[in-house]
Amino acid sequence: MNCEQIAPYLPGLAGDEIGAETRRWVDAHVATCDSCRADAARLHGVSAGLVALQERGIEPPAFLEQAILERVDAERHRRYLPVTPMIPAELVRVVSDNRDALAQAAGVALAAGALFALWRRVRSNRPQAAV
């Protein structure tokens, strides 16, 4: 993994909001990368500071709260991969190594689609019984 792939997960790491599997590979990268370790520490400090403000009962200004809520709502609709992202070179290798299996799966899917279309056509041409 490289820093570009890890960066989107650092805020979730700081807020303890990522899954165990994702956390393992993010932690593994952060342990070996000074830049990401510094970013993670900074984000953890921000998270801890926000928790401390909340515990002291300090309320944010209304405009700030609204802006944050809008951003959270926008992020809620964003899709995250539930699995470890694969770098393009690795994806090419996996596809290349499994080319025969992927071709067979595509053939089965195509045959199933053709059979379904044929079944629908035959079924729609069948005379309907009078009720």
**78 CB-side CA count, 13 A:** 8
Q: Give CA–CA dist 17/43, Å, rounded.
A: 13
For every one of its 131 residues, what pLDDT tens digit does the chain have, with 9 covering 90 and above? 688 888 889 998 998 888 888 888 899 999 999 999 999 999 999 999 988 888 888 887 889 888 988 888 887 776 665 566 677 877 888 888 889 999 999 999 999 999 999 999 888 877 766 65
What pLDDT sits at residue 80? 63
Q: Please state whether the predicted TM-score (pTM) of the whole model is above 0.95.
A: no
In the 8-state DSSP scheme, what is residue 56? T
* Domain assignments of the chain as residue spans, ordered by start: 1-85, 87-131
Domain 1-85 has CATH 1.10.10: yes
In the 8-state DSSP scheme, what is residue 16? T
Q: At what angle do helices 99-125 and 88-97 cross, to 10 degrees?
A: 70
